Amino acid sequence: MRLTSFGDVLLDVIVRLERPLVAGDDTRAETRTGPGGQAANVAAWAASLGAQARFVGKRGADAAGELLARELAARGVELAGPVFGRTGVVVSLTTAGDRTMASDRGSAPGLLARELDDAWFDCDVLHVSGYALAQEPIASAAARAVDAARTRGATVSLDVSAWSLVDDAFRERATTTAPDVVFATEQEREALGPLAARWVVKHGAGGMTVDGRDWPARSAEVVDTTGAGDALAAGFLVGGPELALEAAARCCAQLGAMP
């Protein structure tokens, strides 16, 4: 199975707090720095689950970008896309399994449609991150990616990513994308509205709902939920609901978003 993910690869700075931050004071924490970004996470999990995985996006021409490229390659992910500008950074603060993020997407949203090679989308599944539909010029690049993938017979999936991204422009782009599969939380689904697709509704610790059937989450000692939704998406696309839940549980039991 060949999966291509489209979106961004970012530097994740994960901060696991022993207790909530106190303004103006020092709080002990465990930290991890490594590769992240929704589309890159999906590609890495897909590769770990046996798929041939490719990531397409613009990554920074800096030391962080070089680090991310090495890390993805080590996980068996083929990288495609221009190298320019600076790498984005996401700081994720986690406390007792909950997380709050501060995101700087760097040069990733600046990906242009003309910078794509249609051959990158010769795949069985194209997975599009919702962040790629949130602004231009990457949204136009996403549209070209979808056209190129569909020309080659690929299924297209979309992760809404965040309910706060959804505005009229996002809804229009999602409708034009016409994904076969949509991954969303209940809040994201409500924000996006009707869309003719197969919905995979994520409920966090409550599992997920697919085709009207509720699937309970696998038991796991939750260390960090960063990337769990991406692991679930990869597992579902590679092997269906059971593999999706297994991958999500594995992700939650570790610190960091990639396998």
> Is a pLDDT exceeding 80 seen at residue 104?
yes
Alpha-carbon gap, residue 149 to 126, rounded angstroms: 7
Tell me if 19 is assigned to some domain.
Answer: no
Q: Would you state the structure tokens that stand for residue 69, as one six-digit string? A: 């490229």
Catalytic site includes residue 12: no
Q: Would you state the structure tokens that stand for residue 143, as one six-digit string? A: 């549209």
> Is a pLDDT exceeding 90 seen at residue 26?
no
C-alpha dihedral sign at 54, 132, 108, 247: negative
pLDDT for residue 170: 98
pLDDT for residue 192: 97
> Using an 8 Å Cβ cutoff, are 179 and 156 in contact?
yes
Q: Quickly state the pLDDT bin for 23 (edges 50, 70, 90).
A: confident
pTM for this one? 0.93
* Burial class (CB within 10 angstroms; exposed 0-12, middle 13-18, buried 19+) of 125: buried
Tell me if 13 is assigned to some domain.
Answer: no
Instruction: Considering the candidates 8, 12, 159, 230, report the single residue annotated as catalytic.
Output: 230
Q: What is the arithmetic mean of pLDDT over 213-224?
A: 91
Sequence-distant (6+) residues with CB within 8 A of 99 are 92, 93, 224, 225, 226
> Is a pLDDT exceeding 90 seen at residue 18?
no
Element (DSSP H or E) covering residue 210:
strand 208-210
Q: Which residue has the higher pLDDT, 186 or 15?
A: 186
Give how many domains the chain has, as a whole number. 1
Tell me if 101 is assigned to some domain.
Answer: no
CATH number for the domain spanning 219: value is: 3.40.1190.20
Tell me if 26 is assigned to some domain.
Answer: no
Tell me if 91 is assigned to some domain.
Answer: no
Find the helix packing angle between 63-74 and 38-48, rounded to 10°: 30
Tell me if 80 is assigned to some domain.
Answer: yes
Tell me if 12 is assigned to some domain.
Answer: no
> Is a pLDDT exceeding 90 seen at residue 255?
no
* Phi and psi angles of residue 122, each rounded to the nearest 5 degrees, phi first: -80, 90
* Other CB atoms within 10 Å distance of the CB of residue 198: 14
3-class DSSP state for residue 231? helix
Tell me if 190 is assigned to some domain.
Answer: yes
Residue by residue, DSSP assigns 97-162 as TEEEEEEE-TTGGG--GGG--GGGG-SSEEEEEGGGGSSTTHHHHHHHHHHHHHHTT-EEEEE---
